[in-house]
Amino acid sequence: MYKLGIVGTVTMLLMGCTGTDSAPSSFPGAFVDGNVAYLARGGQVYKYDVQSGNLLWEFPKQETPERGPFAGQPVKFGNTIVVGEGLNFASTGGLFSQEDHTQRSLFGLSDENGVEVWRFTGPKEFVDGVVTDGKLIYAPNGDGKLYAIDPAQKENNQPKIVWTFNDAKSKLWSKPLLAGGKLYQASMDHSMYAIDVATGKKIWEFQAKAPIAVQPTLNNGVLYFGAFDSKFYAVDAETGAKKWEQTTTGWVWSEATIANGLVYFGDVRGRVYALDIAANGEVRWTFDTKDAIRAQPIINGDTLYVVSFDTNVYALKAADGKTAWPTPATLNYRLPAKPWVINDTLLVPLFDSETRMWSLDIASGTRKIQFQPVKK
């Protein structure tokens, strides 16, 4: 009978291995506007009062396997909040979870009550949200295309596509940067594209040696971004010519933040970098966390705030990388999304917990308000 036992054990072990991670398959994103915060995470989108932690509305009212995961940073477009669906968790494995929802949608939700106003269904996932100039919405999709859509005009019962950028040869997993009449769009095909915002035509293309999955940061006519080839690049925004590059220990999947002549970002092996722009990206300091950094670090005064997959929020002195809090604030869950500073509070989205966000005291890192998915 031992043979039966072995076969049973192996099967159960393998089945155990297929047990899905409870976290959504795409990263959440938050957006703060005055006293309210919007959060796209998992099966729902939430609007919260930042001061009280009260839930103002959620969309949809109840989570369903067909909807979500909502991913990336929500964007305000007129009186609507625009959010996209990332890769569907249910289609990525797990016992009997064979639903295959490859078609994912962008939603325009009423800012007032969270009711769906319009929907744009893309061929695939919208992993990192969209950008807008107030007239059009620029939506990168997992099918490798960037769609410029106009919710004011309808075509086949959904917002009209004004133009489509088709040149990328792989997934678009980061939102573009809109500046100076151009869109700068990263692609998993290893390229950064500059696109004419009026026509959707390619202006230039810069090639790295591996996928790029971050929105670039623009400073004084130079784009800063990292790639999966473990390099961080500075590229002329007009021409696409490389100005300098710096080697990192791991893939760079965090957007950069620039302040005081330094560019700050993290890599997936958990290292935070401060590179000197004037010195062609020379490393000023580094700081090691214990797990991947995917979110953009943010600066407030002289302090850099970094969130890591090691579940900690770090406050570092921007000048030298020394810790500003006695100990990091531990939130016990992976932290993949950019935090926000609101007055004396740091708002941190969580990935796989029942609690959706925590607000922390910015001076000490102590917990203040817990944001729950239910009305108080």
Smallest distance from other proteins to CB 100, Å? 7
Q: In the numeric block, which tokens belong to residue 88?
A: 């569907």
Smallest distance from other proteins to CB 27, Å? 6
Interface residue with other proteins among 54, 91, 219, 300 (CB under 8 A) is: 91
What is the three-class DSSP state of 53? coil
Told to check if 127 binds other proteins by CB under 8 A, we report: yes
* Closest CB to other proteins among residues 230, 359: 230
* Closest CB to other proteins among residues 92, 103: 92
> 129 to 158, contacts with other proteins by CB under 8 A?
none
Site string for other proteins, 183-202 (x = CB under 8 A): -----x-x------------
Please tell me the distance from the alpha carbon of residue 24 to that of residue 39, in angstroms, as a whole number.
Answer: 14
Please tell me the distance from the alpha carbon of residue 172 to that of residue 177, in angstroms, as a whole number.
Answer: 13
* Closest CB to other proteins among residues 69, 114: 69
Told to check if 34 binds other proteins by CB under 8 A, we report: no
What is the three-class DSSP state of 5? helix
**Region for 262 from its dihedrals, namely left if φ exceeds 0, alpha if ψ lies in -120 to 50, beta otherwise:** beta
Order of strands, sheet of 303-307, starting from the edge strand that comes earlier in the sequence: 298-300, 303-307, 312-317, 329-330
Q: What share of the chain is helix, strand, coil (3-state, %, to 5)?
A: 5, 45, 50
Smallest distance from other proteins to CB 111, Å? 27
- Count of positions on this chain that bind other proteins (CB under 8 A): 57
Residue with token string 């031992």: 2
From 53-61, 158-166, 248-256, 342-350, span contacting other proteins (CB under 8 A)? 248-256
Smallest distance from other proteins to CB 64, Å? 19
Told to check if 283 binds other proteins by CB under 8 A, we report: no
By the 8 A CB rule, do 369 and 343 touch?
no
CB atoms within 10 A of CB 90: 19
By the 8 A CB rule, do 163 and 130 touch?
no
Smallest distance from other proteins to CB 92, Å? 5
> 254 to 273, contacts with other proteins by CB under 8 A?
268-269
* Closest CB to other proteins among residues 92, 166: 92
> 303 to 322, contacts with other proteins by CB under 8 A?
309
From 86-94, 130-138, 238-246, 356-364, span contacting other proteins (CB under 8 A)? 86-94
* Closest CB to other proteins among residues 242, 367: 242
Smallest distance from other proteins to CB 106, Å? 17
Closest to 30 measured CA to CA, from 313, 338, 342, 253: 338
Q: How far is CA 348 from CA 20, 43, 129, 130, 375, in A?
A: 24, 19, 18, 21, 19
Site string for other proteins, 212-241 (x = CB under 8 A): -x--------------xxx-----------
β-strand partners of 162 = none
Please tell me the distance from the alpha carbon of residue 291 to that of residue 265, in angstroms, as a whole number.
Answer: 14
Order of strands, sheet of 182-186, starting from the edge strand that comes earlier in the sequence: 177-179, 182-186, 191-196, 202-207
* Closest CB to other proteins among residues 163, 193: 193
Query: Would you call the peptide bond into 60 cis, given omega within 30 degrees of 0 as the criterion?
Result: yes
By the 8 A CB rule, do 71 and 129 touch?
yes
From 90-98, 197-205, 233-241, 280-288, span contacting other proteins (CB under 8 A)? 90-98
Interface residue with other proteins among 51, 64, 92, 327 (CB under 8 A) is: 92
**Contact set with other proteins (CB under 8 A):** 1-4, 6-8, 10-11, 13-15, 17-18, 21, 23-27, 71, 86-87, 89, 91-98, 100, 127, 170-171, 173, 188, 190, 209-211, 213, 228-230, 249-251, 253, 268-269, 291-292, 294, 309, 336
